[in-house]
Structure 1
């Protein structure tokens, strides 16, 4: 009887993951509020520390403070560590520590890793974590050296050590799609004419947001191009959807802003402004212009892209690109009269289709409720409110310039949106879902009118 009772009260993997993220945010907030991480004479309230910790762990980038003015070198390094934990995932970070200590990865840890990454199988999970960690650290180190060297050579930094430190922080922030900067809260506006710097940042954002499985498959193909490496259905769907959204976002940005922000820009300036902001809406959160100066249609378009977010098993949030693809594919199949959804010579599982619609519905419900509460407490314009809420949910971090002015209730709303966006709607569904029940009986089926 006691054993049964213990099993009934044992936490499920999704519950463990949620508690780990909440605990990590709280501990991070306590650390960030300590004076040893602040510049002399600077203090930070706990609510602002909590907001900064939530934004760092969820790799969002929304901030109510100016990072470079509040934190000293130790505080900035702590933030970079939090980006890593939030970006590659708490369980992946735990796997790294276990491997470093020579510990064996047990079944319970494997189950929790699968829950953190929403994996349906435990096969090869430790090997996958090793590859993810190796790729992440390799990409960040190479980019840190490139950016640091370039910042010194281009004259942005006069000291090589300061340039390398700036390059390190920016590399980690870009790859994990955290979106934090050391440019006095002005994001990357001062690099708006520097196409080399922007290109490196875009490549880092894409590498972090496209999904770790895609990176691993590309790496395996590069290592053995003559082998029998076959890209999975997930990689094909992810890559197609990801770059289609980037292209569509760039075109729409240009069309909507060509008579406004881009009116006096040259063709190459218009190209990089459009492309960079489209890539950044995947989950990056960097900006090369003042977002508040954009037209309302552009802000709503970008809010839609941030709502979709990055790919599954990546550093980003949102409903994920695969969810968006499955929704479109299911609607297309219905319109063409097909009973099944077929893509790339494969048939999608009904469970994945149903889950995609549930994720979309719950995400829309969350955005509506959060925007309604935010409007009630803060009273900002509707387009700015929706933009800020979707930016938090998509863990993007782009801001219409209102985050620093929100009150405590508004900060709590954004914190919840960031946390849910990082943990994922699917994890919340699994958190609330009860065990499958045995149905001993069925009722007669009857049709109801839907949509009319």
Structure 2
């Protein structure tokens, strides 16, 4: 009864964040158990906690080598954690509720809406089941393709081990977790364009956003039944921004590195290095090269891509693609002396514009503050710290290798950034929100000088 009363006093946002916090604690305790470690490995509590948050937030920043630290059972635990963080705790919870014959009430629907950034409560149960089905199908296809390839190309000698490597790689790529069990990310496949292509497709499918995937599925059915094909404004903006940034990232990477890292590479290798880094820098976290080989301007540009991150309602973090494009459009319309954002014959809601501005300002401030703090307490360069901080906030997982050498305060700060990146900035800001009390009056409005 006491827990029930306390739960009623908690907002839906607070409950969702508590769910993820509880998942992190549980995952930390599991990863600390020696049963899941390779012989002779002992994981400290802070390293277990860091790994758990990185896995729940599907980031991929690690302070230990996954391949050397965890055995098969430990890797299976990590896969489960990826699914919780990537697909979402409420999608899996909805499936369990239905499996147990439990009814899903209004309160649970509010939790689902917050977890997946939805503004309406209608159709949420069907949405969660569709998300779960799509995720499992995509991961299964990726598992079969990669598993068979690893086996028949003699990457892995036994078929069952090859399929397990394919399974782990597929889930890690689709959820954009960025973990690997090869020991050096995908560097051994730096010239294997097939493996890179499969991983890029999985990363894109996870980062483009579940609403986009669902609309593509529905319109695919409409195409074969001669029904009208129509995409929402969200899907149009998200897809255009995501793939626009992907193409821009590849071009800029090539231009910045063509006389440096790519100077001795063939045209096809240069193309794949540029494209793969653009894809993985949005949230994937996997690498086919050592980022320390890149120039500072390239590392800073990749940091900007990680800061923007993936699409809303996806497995990725960052400020999200829609926030980025709304900020740009807001600047453009102000320059043109207009007040409304019109795009694709639709007009954006003022509340969504305000949310985008709030998210951008808050994200910029916490990233700057985090960079400043780590610069004070650590001895690494500014570029290295910016890269690591934006990687944590964007739940990307790309690294210059300095994370294991950070002090405990800096590691804790990165953990906080990863957690915020997973739950989202808006829910995090609403964590302490209280019910508004109407005052019944307004003060006189007065203009001030800004800008």
TM-score, normalised to structure 2, is 0.97
* Partner of residue 372, structure 1: 372
* Partner of residue 332, structure 1: 332
Matches for 1:303-452 after TM superposition, within 5 Å: 303-451=303-451
* Partner of residue 254, structure 2: 254
Aligned mates of 1:101, 1:199 — CA distance in 2: 39
Aligned mates of 1:339, 1:367 — CA distance in 2: 29
Matches for 1:51-450 after TM superposition, within 5 Å: 51-184=50-183, 186-225=184-223, 226-450=226-450
Aligned mates of 1:230, 1:98 — CA distance in 2: 33
Aligned mates of 2:433, 2:305 — CA distance in 1: 28
Name whichever of 427-436 and 17-26 sits farther off: 427-436
Give deviations 1:22-63, integer Å, cap 9, x for gaps.
111011000000011111121110100000000000000000
**TM superposition shift of 1:368:** 1.1
* Partner of residue 11, structure 1: 10
> What SS does structure 1 have at the residue aligned with 2:446?
coil
> What SS does structure 2 have at the residue aligned with 1:122?
coil
Aligned mates of 1:40, 1:136 — CA distance in 2: 33
> What SS does structure 1 have at the residue aligned with 2:144?
helix
Structure 1 unaligned blocks of 5 or more: none
Give deviations 1:139-178, integer Å, cap 9, x for gaps.
0001100000001111111111111000000000000000
**TM superposition shift of 1:292:** 1.3
Q: CA RMSD in A?
A: 1.6
User: When the two structures are aligned, how many residues end up with a matched partner?
Assistant: 448
Aligned mates of 1:278, 1:407 — CA distance in 2: 30
Aligned mates of 2:243, 2:221 — CA distance in 1: 24
Q: Are the structure 2 counterparts of residues 253 and 353 from structure 1 closer, same or farther at C-alpha, using a change threshold of 3 Å?
A: same
**TM superposition shift of 1:261:** 0.4
**TM superposition shift of 1:8:** 10
**TM superposition shift of 1:303:** 0.4
Aligned mates of 1:386, 1:147 — CA distance in 2: 34
**TM superposition shift of 1:442:** 1.9
Aligned mates of 2:16, 2:292 — CA distance in 1: 36
Matches for 1:16-31 after TM superposition, within 5 Å: 16-31=15-30
* Partner of residue 38, structure 1: 37
Aligned mates of 2:187, 2:252 — CA distance in 1: 21
Q: Are the structure 2 counterparts of residues 6 and 96 from structure 1 closer, same or farther at C-alpha, using a change threshold of 3 Å?
A: closer
Aligned mates of 1:9, 1:220 — CA distance in 2: 37
Aligned mates of 1:275, 1:37 — CA distance in 2: 36
Give deviations 1:99-127, integer Å, cap 9, x for gaps.
22232212111111111112110100011
**TM superposition shift of 1:300:** 0.6
Give deviations 1:213-244, integer Å, cap 9, x for gaps.
00000011112212134211110010000000
Aligned mates of 2:10, 2:90 — CA distance in 1: 16
**TM superposition shift of 1:443:** 2.1
Runs of 4+ in 1 over 6 A off after TM superposition: none
Aligned mates of 2:437, 2:192 — CA distance in 1: 59
TM-score, normalised to structure 1, is 0.97
Aligned mates of 2:95, 2:204 — CA distance in 1: 23
